[in-house]
Each structure stands twice: as C-alpha cells, then as structure tokens.
C-alpha cells in the first residue's frame, strides 16, 4: 500500500516509540510525543504497538491512498475528513483506494497519530524509524513530510476488518468504520488548566520554599517557543537555586529543568541525552500523553506525587492498555 | 563491595530512570570510575534496562518499570531495580579500567577555521602559537558524549585555557569545529548552534551513518590533536568525498 502527501501540514513526521540504546553516544531518543496514543492507534489496526506511524501536529496534511487501507487515528482531534465527511477517531477505519484523508482545524489537543496497517515502511536507523529532524535521522530522509512525498506501508499477513469493505458507506463515502470506539481518559484530557503530575527531582529540595509553592500553586502557560525538544513554561519566574548550572547528567522524557532565567522547561521527545540545568522534577510518565496534547497558550498546573504513586499509576495504565489490546484483538478476529 | 565505592548514591530521575552518583569532583578519576561502573552494569544485562548514560560523575540508568512489576505491590519498580543494582555492584572487583584506544585527530588552527583563537589568546594574554601548543599538547580522554549525536566532551583542558562559554551562542557552528568551554574541549560532529570558543577544525567526520561504525569515538577513547596546515585540511576533506 502506498499513499501520497498532497499537503504536508505544519509538522508531520514518522515516529515510533523511539531510539533507545544510543543515548550513551548522544543520540536523542525521539519517538512519539504522546506514546500512549501511538500505541493505541497501532493496536487498532493490528500492528505491533511500536510500529511507525505519522505524528501530525496542529494543522494537518492531506493524504491520498493509492490502495485500500486500514487506518486508525488517536490523540488530538484535527478534524479528519474524507469527501467532506468526518472520519471517526479511536477506531479502525477502512479507506477505499483513491480517497483523500484531509485534516482540518485542530479542535482538541495538538497531535494526532495516524497508524496504518502494516506500519510505515521507512528504513530503521540506529534501531528506530523515528524522525529526529535536528540531525536528519530516521523517518523519511530524516525530515518532516513535504508535499509530493510518497509513503509505503509494510505487509500485513491478511486483511483486518475486511468486512468493513461490505458496508454500504464504503463505496458511498470512501470509508467505513465500526460503531464502537476506544475510550481514553476523556475527562482528564479536556481539563483546563491541564493538571500535570510530577515527582520531585534531584534539585527540588534546593529550591526555596517560596519557589516550590509557586511551582505547584501557580498556573503556567505553554510558551510559543515550545517544540518536540522542550516545552517552555511561561508564568511566574521561579527563583533559582544558588547555582545556575549543575554538573551535566542524564535527563529523561519529562525532566523539568530550571534555567537561570527562572522559567522551567520540560524536556520532551527530542530532548538531549544530558543536561546541565538544575532538575526540579520529572513529569509522571502517565501524564506525558496529556502534556504532549497541549498547544502554545494552553494553561497547566503541576501537582506533586510520590515516585511509588507514579509507578503505580503507570502500572495501572499498562494494564488498561493490555486490556484495550485484548478487546481489539477479539474484534479483529471475531 | 570489593571496589571502593565510597560516596556512591542513587536518586530517581522520574519513574523510568535513575541516577547513580559518585561523590567528589568530576575530574578524570571520577569519570573513569563512572565508565567502569557503566561497563560492569552493561555486562550484567539487568532486566528492563534500556540505556546507560555516563556523564562526569553520574550514570543515568533508563529502564522500563514494567520489567519490575511486583506481584504483591510492596516494592516499587525503582526499589527493586535499585536493590538489584546494589547487589550486582558487590561483584564489582575493581574500578580499574584499561585505557581506551588512542586516536590522532588532525586539526587546522588557521584563522579561517579557528574563528575564536585570536580573541581567546587575547583574553588569556598568551601568544596564539602558545594557545595552539597548549591545546594540542595533552592526550585527552572522551569524558562523555551528549549535546548532539557524537559530540565529544574531552578532558582535561589545561587550566590556562579554561574559559566560560561565549555570552552569545552562535546560531551555527561548522561541522568538525574544535572548541573549548569551561574545563573541556570538544568537537562539533555536525553543523549546530553552539556557545563554545572555536579554536580550529578537523576534517574527520565524527558521526557518519554510511559507515559500519557510525560514531568515530566512544567514552573512554583517548585523543591527541595534531596541527595541520590549511592545505592539508583541504586535502583530507577532499579525500573524504
């Protein structure tokens, strides 16, 4: 199956779950900003949950399918349509050949994940298909998609949800989807300001009590200079600790750095492997998918939780994901 | 523990990573100990460990907490992995480590490549020739890689050349630039923004995906800079293409 990019959108890249085992030589992990949505989207089309998919940011692309395809979209709602009709999210969708999937206004969240059965077939680079634009690694030629690009998907052993082809809508609308969908924390997703939970970092205790209270008490706004590397938080400036920089050490997805100017930066998917600013905390992994769906200007608040709590939440999320996976498998092969 | 790991401490780096830290300064001896611990833990193949990221006096250990799910829920994945690492480290007999490979890195220190050489010499009240001499005298060790794929932090820089970063970073530093900042000298593996003082440039490619070994240097490797003329630089650069 192949598809053509008629319009690329603001930033559409190929991403999987990231490039591990290379951080010791300075290669960033990259991968999906909202890995949860990528995993669910992949499962909905019967892929391995870490298969390469498209991460679509804010304003979406227009894609033409050159053959029948099975797709699923999760994460932010960027108003996907085919022939003017809304294409439902969080469920498998069969698209008939020759149709164009068109993304419009971003009505919820910031990043949509489009998984296609078979996964997007680009070469693995250092163990991953994720695009890291800064070093032109992975994805399609190491860059974001451009109009005129052609993407190819991997093979699937047999068509999934093939019965959807028989739906009356398939010929009429160019696509067909089942009535069920997967529910993903909708109530937390819509909350503004978005609550983001974090665990204290190496330098949390060296902040003044005032600065700690500010960080958990005030509302921040996602800055316009935020990108896949880091989210800049605007709002009250936190009084730094005595030292402006600390000995460089490893950082993680969600590390909250405090540069000397007092405006925290949350490190995201394309973060560097090591950093030299004080680390006041790390966002709980379960909330990274919520954080990744904020767009510049969105408001957020931080709430501190303990490390065991963060790891319990993560375990609960993993169990829920496994259950979603089982449900989908049953539907695929029923 | 057999090896002297006094001053060793651990702290969480969020719910999917932890930091191992050695007390004391971040000098050559500490860097080497961190590397020895990283090499040892790498051999242990600990469950769920995804990446071991050495820096100066810390080792970042990235892991998948799902690999440490506790059936009765009494111990967090962090506590379990920590216990496992501490147990494993009792088997670390020695922090001695063989020296890494020694490489000669050709560098052209001419003005056209070492843009900041003259201003650095002026700041340090040294003749330019002496700055070059001091810079290429030691055998450096790759302390760590970071900032960008293949960017090497080399130590120990001679005290006479230690200088803070530029006040205003450059939007673009050419690939191969050899630069100094604080107690380190480093090499830019690609064209990148950067705030280090550029003293020269090497025609070597530090990160090249078309090679079997995409990264020329790893932590622990030793490097000696060999001054070359601009003519030789262009020759070597041409031979690369």
Q: What is the CATH number of the domain that holds B212?
A: 2.40.100.10
pLDDT < 70 positions in chain A: 185-190, 240-244, 334
Same domain, yes or no, for B81 and B15?
Answer: yes
Of B15, B53, B65, the CB nearest to A274: B53
Cβ–Cβ of A25/B218 closer than 8 Å?
yes
Tens-place pLDDT, residues A185-200: 655 666 779 999 999 9
Q: What percentage of chain B has pLDDT greater than the value 70?
A: 96
Q: Name the residue in chain B with its Cα closest to that of A287.
A: B15
Instruction: Report pLDDT for A244.
Output: 65
Tens-place pLDDT, residues B55-100: 999 999 999 999 998 767 789 999 999 999 999 999 988 877 888 8
- Three-state SS string over chain A comes to CEEEEEECCCEEEEECCCCCCCHHHCCCCCCCCCHHHHHHHHHHCCCCCCCCEEEEECCCCEEEECCCEEEEEEEEECCEEECCEECCCCCCEEECCCCEEEECCCCEEEEEEEEECCCECCCCECCECCCEHHHCECCECCECCCCCCEEEECCCCCCCCHHHHHCHHHHHHCEECCCCCCCCCHHHHCCCCEEEEEEECCCCCCCCHHHHHHHHHCCEEECCCCCCCEEEEECCCCCCCCCCCCCCEECCCCEEECCCCCCCEEECCCCCCEECCCEEEEECHHHHHHHCCCCCCCEEEEEECCHHHHHHHHHHHHHHHHHHHHHHHHHHHC
Tens-place pLDDT, residues A38-96: 999 999 999 999 999 999 999 989 999 999 999 999 999 999 999 999 999 999 999 99
In Å, what is the CA distance from A237 to each residue of A22, A36, A254, A265, A275? 34, 31, 19, 12, 20
Query: How many other CB atoms sit within 10 Å of the CB of residue B241?
Result: 4
Query: How many other CB atoms sit within 10 Å of the CB of residue A212?
Result: 17
Cβ–Cβ of A282/B51 closer than 8 Å?
no
State the nearest Cα–Cα gap between A276 and chain B, in angstroms: 10
Place of tokens 């996907």: A80
A259's tokens: 């540069």
Instruction: Report pLDDT for B23.
Output: 84
Same domain, yes or no, for B187 and B147?
Answer: yes
Residue B151 belongs to some domain of the structure = yes
Domain endpoint, select from B89, B114, B144:
B89
Same domain, yes or no, for B138 and B217?
Answer: yes
Cα three-residue angle A224-A34-A3, rounded to 5 degrees:
95
Residues in contact with A196: Cβ distance below 8 Å, sequence separation at least 6, in sequence order: A283, A284, A287, A290, A291, A300, A301, A302, A303
Any idea which fold A188-314 has?
Cyclophilin (2.40.100)
b/e burial code for range A214-252 (CB count within 10 A of at least 16 → b): bbeeeebbbbeebbbbbbbbbbeebebbeeeebebbbbb
The domain containing residue B175 runs over which residues?
102-240
Q: Are A198 and A256 in contact (CB under 8 A)?
A: yes
Domain count within chain B: 2
Of B55, B215, B218, the CB nearest to A248: B55
Same domain, yes or no, for B81 and B106?
Answer: no
| A319 Rama class: left (phi>0) / alpha (psi -120 to 50) / beta | alpha
Query: In this complex, is the C-beta atom of B2 within 8 Å of any C-beta atom belonging to chain A?
Result: no
Q: Are A239 and A211 in contact (CB under 8 A)?
A: yes
Residue B216 belongs to some domain of the structure = yes
Q: pLDDT band at B4, cuts 50/70/90?
A: low
Same domain, yes or no, for B72 and B114?
Answer: no
Lowest mean pLDDT across A51-55, A147-151, B30-34, B221-225? B30-34
Chain A positions touching chain B (beta carbons under 8 Å): 20-28, 125-126, 134-135, 137, 199, 201-202, 247-255, 272-274, 279, 282-285, 307-308, 310-312, 314-315, 318
Q: Which of residues 53-72 of B touch A (CB under 8 A)?
A: 53-60, 62, 65-66, 69
Same domain, yes or no, for B169 and B228?
Answer: yes
Same domain, yes or no, for B190 and B226?
Answer: yes
d(CA B42, CA B205): 27
Same domain, yes or no, for B113 and B51?
Answer: no
Residue A138 φ/ψ, nearest 5 degrees: 65, -165
Instruction: Report pLDDT for B3.
Output: 61
Same domain, yes or no, for B115 and B83?
Answer: no
> Sign of the C-alpha dihedral, residues B53, B58, B59, B63?
negative
Cα three-residue angle B137-B138-B143, rounded to 5 degrees:
145
Cβ–Cβ of A282/B15 closer than 8 Å?
yes
Domain endpoint, select from B89, B113, B144:
B89
Q: Are A201 and A255 in contact (CB under 8 A)?
A: yes
Give the residue extent of every domain in chain A: 2-184, 188-314
Q: pLDDT band at B102, cuts 50/70/90?
A: very high
H or E element that contains B196: none
Of A137, A283, A311, the CB nearest to B65: A311
Instruction: Report pLDDT for A241.
Output: 54
Same domain, yes or no, for B106 and B127?
Answer: yes
b/e burial code for range A81-96 (CB count within 10 A of at least 16 → b): ebeeeebbbbbbbbbb
Instruction: Report pLDDT for B1.
Output: 43
Cβ–Cβ of B38/A24 closer than 8 Å?
yes
Residue B3 belongs to some domain of the structure = no
Rounded to the nearest integer, the mean pLDDT of chain B is 92
Domain endpoint, select from B59, B89, B119:
B89
Long-range contacts of A212-219 (CB under 8 A, 24+ apart): A214/A238, A215/A264, A215/A280, A215/A281, A215/A302, A216/A301, A216/A302, A216/A303, A216/A304, A218/A301, A219/A193, A219/A299, A219/A300, A219/A301
> Which chain A residues have a beta carbon less than 8 Å from that of B15?
199, 282, 284-285, 307, 310-311, 314
Residue B94 belongs to some domain of the structure = no
Of A126, A249, A254, the CB nearest to B19: A249
Instruction: Report pLDDT for A230.
Output: 96
Q: Which of residues 198-227 of B touch A (CB under 8 A)?
A: 207, 209, 214-215, 218-219
Same domain, yes or no, for B75 and B149?
Answer: no
Same domain, yes or no, for B114 and B84?
Answer: no
Instruction: Report pLDDT for A187.
Output: 57
Of A134, A255, A312, the CB nearest to B14: A255
């Amino acid at each position: 199956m192949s598809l053509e990019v008629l319009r690329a959108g603001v930033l559409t890249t190929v991403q999987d779950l990231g490039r591990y085992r290379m951080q010791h030589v300075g290669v960033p992990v990259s991968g999906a900003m909202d890995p949860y949505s990528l995993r669910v989207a992949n499962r909905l089309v019967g892929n391995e949950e870490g298969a390469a998919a498209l991460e679509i940011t804010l304003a979406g692309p227009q894609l033409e399918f050159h053959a029948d395809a099975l797709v699923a979209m999760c994460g932010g709602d960027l108003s996907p349509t085919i022939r003017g009709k809304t294409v439902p999210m969080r469920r498998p969708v069969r698209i008939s050949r020759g149709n164009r999937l068109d993304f419009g206004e971003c009505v919820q969240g910031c990043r949509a994940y489009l998984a296609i059965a078979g996964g997007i077939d680009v070469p693995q680079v250092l163990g991953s298909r994720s695009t890291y634009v800064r070093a032109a690694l992975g994805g399609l030629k190491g860059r974001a998609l451009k109009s005129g690009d052609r993407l190819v998907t991997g093979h699937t052993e047999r068509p999934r949800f093939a019965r959807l082809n028989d739906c009356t809508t398939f010929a009429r609308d160019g696509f067909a989807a089942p009535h069920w969908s997967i529910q993903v924390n909708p109530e937390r997703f819509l909350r503004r300001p978005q609550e983001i939970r974090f665990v204290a970092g190496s330098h949390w205790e060296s902040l003044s009590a005032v600065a700690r209270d500010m960080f958990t008490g005030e509302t921040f706004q996602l800055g316009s200079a935020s990108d896949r590397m880091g989210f800049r938080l605007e709002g009250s400036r936190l009084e730094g600790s005595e030292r402006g920089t600390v000995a460089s050490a490893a950082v993680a997805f969600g590390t909250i750095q405090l540069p000397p100017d007092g405006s925290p930066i949350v490190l995201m998917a394309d973060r560097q492997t090591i950093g030299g600013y004080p680390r006041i905390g790390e966002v709980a992994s379960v909330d990274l998918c919520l954080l990744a769906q904020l767009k510049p200007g969105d408001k957020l608040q931080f709430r501190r939780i303990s490390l065991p709590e963060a790891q319990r939440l993560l375990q609960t999320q993993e169990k829920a994901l496994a259950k979603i996976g089982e449900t989908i498998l049953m539907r695929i092969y029923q | 523990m057999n090896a002297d790991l006094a001053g060793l401490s651990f702290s969480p780096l969020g719910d999917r990573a932890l930091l191992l830290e050695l007390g004391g300064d971040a000098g050559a001896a500490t860097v080497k100990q961190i590397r020895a611990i990283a090499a040892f833990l790498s051999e242990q193949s600990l469950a769920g460990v995804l990446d071991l990221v050495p820096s100066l006096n810390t080792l970042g250990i990235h892991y998948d907490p799902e690999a440490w799910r506790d059936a009765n829920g009494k111990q967090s994945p962090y506590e379990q992995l920590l216990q496992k690492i501490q147990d494993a480290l009792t088997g670390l007999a020695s922090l001695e480590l063989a020296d890494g490979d020694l490489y000669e890195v050709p560098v052209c220190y001419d003005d056209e490549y070492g843009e900041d050489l003259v201003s650095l010499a002026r700041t340090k009240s040294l003749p330019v020739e002496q700055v070059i001499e001091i810079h290429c005298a030691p055998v450096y060790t790759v302390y760590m890689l970071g900032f960008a794929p293949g960017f090497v932090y080399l130590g120990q820089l001679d005290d006479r050349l230690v200088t803070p970063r530029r006040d205003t970073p450059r939007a673009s530093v050419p690939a191969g630039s050899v630069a100094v900042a604080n107690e380190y000298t480093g090499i830019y593996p690609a064209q990148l923004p950067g705030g280090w003082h550029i003293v020269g440039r090497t025609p070597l490619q530090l990160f090249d995906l078309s090679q079997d070994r995409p990264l020329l240097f790893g932590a622990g490797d030793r490097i000696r800079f060999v001054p070359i003329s601009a003519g030789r630089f262009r020759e070597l650069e041409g031979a690369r293409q």
